[in-house]
Structure 1
Amino acid sequence: MAGNEWIAEWILTEPLDNLWVVAGEVHYYRNPALIFITDGQSVWNIHGEKIQVSSGQLIAAEKDTVIKIMEGGTADLTGWEIHFHTYKPFSSEEGGADVDWKVPDGHTFQQVQLTGHALAGLGHYFRDNGTQNFIPIRLSNQSLVYELLKHLYRNQPDSGQTTGEGLLRSITYMQEHYGEIITRNQLARITGVSPWHYSRKFSERYGISPLSYLAQYRVYRAQEQLLLTRSTSQAISGQVGFEDVHYFSRRFKQFTGVSPRNYAQTLNQRKIVALAPLLAETMIGLGVIPHAVVSSPVLLAEHQLELFTAHGVEILETDQFNLDVERISQVQPELILGPFITEDKKQKLRTIAPVITDLQLDLEDLLIPLGTLLHKEKAAAGISRALAARVNEARNQLNPVIQSAATVMVLRIEPFGYRYLGGRSNRISRLLYDHLGLGLPEPLKAGEAWFNPCSAELLSLADPDYLFVERRVMEHFDAEDSSRKLMESSQWKNLKAARNQQVFYIDTRLWVDGCGTSGYPVILDQIVSFLSGSEAVCAQ
């Protein structure tokens, strides 16, 4: 047996708790661990390195790893952490000598994006985790450890340097130092070839000269500054690396067709790609038609599909939480608008167009800033007033429910468990419990996250008068098993809402992903209809 062989032994599998969405929280690993993200996004700091994690990713942590939660993630992060230890077999020491396991790529941690096929193959491990039989639990989790480790060791890149890698290093340098003076000789030295050879290889690979690439990248960043700030053209030209404002204006017009002064007024005529359906829906409400929208087919609400089809908006299909940069590049966007996305994806998008991200996917927090960005302030204010009037009308209709002090709960059934909507969050939470004044069951008031873990016991304690149920829609997992187990439980059958036929099923695509300028009134109508007694459906 080779001297570097070892055996991995499973220790513990547990879900990520609420502390994983709290900025500033620190998690320490005494043993190696594999962290599998099943939903949402987050920003972590691991040993001083800031990374973005999202659904479908596997993060491997060595012994003594410290993970700090940073600002910028989503409140619906879910996943599992699988702890294990490694030892050398057939050692003279009893139980085998411990091995200090290192991640295969040579760093202190490793991050891998799993494919759809791999994700689908992992689901049964977590669905079966609740069994009480010790031997099947241990065998299943031992198999899970090796299944996840297999993804880490697969297709490790060759460490040898190539000219292509040198060119990529030069591009990275341009992206990180575009505001400084950059010469062809500098870029050639970074690549490790002569200036002449560098220009030829760069042009062959990317179809543009390196200095033209740099000029275009600088203009993209200038476009962002013109939209996000009130800085003058002269100030912006210096910030993005142009020493002469007249040369900047000439290059800017060459790439955009207009001068920097007139650029912001031409957004209506440009090919804008929205990275979320709710953004595209809200843009259309403001009177700006995006050229394309990025969406996972399973998460696109019916009203959004009809809206985009009616306005000729191209739908760029992509996997949930896995942005297809190449597909976006093919439509040659002139501006990309999106919510929070991982830094690596953002950097790739910034090479093909100006990019503005971190837009909120809560209509109330999005409407006015988006209207300002698109020079549609009056339209945004008008929509805001109209929605406020609709909310007041709905509140009046629901007054008997509100006055009765009846409680309302939103339960999310997920592939691997249950969560409930917190009362001090945003989006639908704000609408139900703040604007409409509906009551949250007392046992649930401690939950501050958007969606909080919910056990069958907590559901029994909450015992709401009205229960909205969302069967979570995801690409690679389904919630049918979790739903069936809950409906068959005694806790469910004893709920007031179930006994009184006050259980209402809601659509993830509308209530979570489709609450834009068109979807918001639809949701309001559903709430009024459900709580007024005309649409109740009790699970059998």
Structure 2
Amino acid sequence: MNKVVYHLLEEGEELIVPPSIIYVAANSAAVSSNELSNIYTLSEGKAYWMKNGSILSPANKYLKIYIIEISDMKHEEIIFTSTEPCKTSPKFDELIALQESKSFLDRCNFQAKLWKLIGSMTEDQTLDDLDQTIHYINNHTHKQFTVQDLAAKARMTPVTFARAFKKKTGIPPKEFVLDKKMKKAKELIVQNKGINIKDVSQQIGIQDEFYFSRLFKKREGISPTIYIKKIQNRVAVVSQLFLQDHLLSLGIQPVAAPMYPSIFPKTNGIPSYLEKPLEGTMLLNAEKPFDSKDIMTVDPDCIIKTSLHHGEQQALTWVKNREVHSIDFQNKWDDYLVKIAQYFSKEEAVANIKKEMEQLETRAKEMLRGVARSGEWAVVWVRNEEIRLYGSSNHACMELLYQTLGFKPHNELPKNGYVTITVNELLELDPDKILFLWSTKAAVDKVAKHPDWNQLKAVRNQEIFIPSSQEWDPWGPLGRKHMIEGLVSYFNLDKTLLYV
């Protein structure tokens, strides 16, 4: 059992201490300890780990210390810093009062407040560069600190620090700190069922909940109370598909949803257009088997699930009476939207979404007409050492290109799905234009080293197109819109005309 003890040593008095953390609340002391052989004095306002040893009160002065007896902590785990005794001593006194209480609640509070106090005495480390400063902010959203505090940690003046920080991140440090706190607030709201605004505010280091509410509304455009209502349907997505796209379009933020960290390493494993809407959502690594225990930590009311690629290895067990909606593979993007909307009685929203999408597609088709109809196209994905040639149907992306937006397919394309081909087979097809999707320029350049590459009609006529299309995924409303905007922008058309 952890224990806090207070000692007031008179002049020359010696104290033998057990393995413990020592906090010096007044004056300083000589210490005799093998573990602290390089430290000759214990200074006021600092904490020290001592495995064993003795403390001697200074001459002509008294020594005020607190001892935290902890048996299950290794001393090398802790690096302490200075704290003000006037602020720290009352916290120790509160702990002593709590530990003497016979109330179970008080004993629980004692343990919680003890570890919080220890943490507060260990977090003021020096920051060697701006990367460390950013890491510190990201991991200390619960703390209150100012730009001046951060500058001091980085051993810079506030003006110099602010200038360097903005150059590094693009925004001032104060805005960066608030942004991280608001993102943490959203995570607390989404992932903790029933949490109240006051608790959220305090857990991000803002004691005034009304001030927090104003900050939240300024950043998000809605109050935290209204934001909480967005997750009244606590939905977890257990799928290798980004079905969160459909949920967000229906005004529902999922409490858990899939991600692909190897595909989208810079945006938390999700496409950039989903990053802001999914702030706060627990992201589940879809590149490995899902763990039902992880999903249950966010306490979903229902789960939307599709067949998983890993078969029985991905079998999931749910708590009793958990509502699970299983969706079979759908041929069209809006089929998923319709099914999901039915679960939450949002059929009217589907009609509006489909109408807006049809209007967007019609405008895009007109804008792309000159590009799409000026030759026969082939869509290719260079994937590792594999070259995939896509057919004209039975794939959401190809149907968007060929059937919806009017790109003219080569008449010898496969009808469905894709086939794996060689460069020689691509030469035999010899399309007028080639659109390389989801392919890096380096991968295409590697294929282009084939000795007969320059014989391709598309190469001779400079009709090879390699857009940055890693995020093009038209299976959901948001992804579909993002791909259409990307196509219009890539072919140097005025994207603003899409919304005229």
| Structure possessing the higher radius of gyration over alpha carbons | 2
Structure of greater relative contact order (alpha carbons < 8 Å, 6+ residues apart): 1
TM-score by length of 1: 0.43
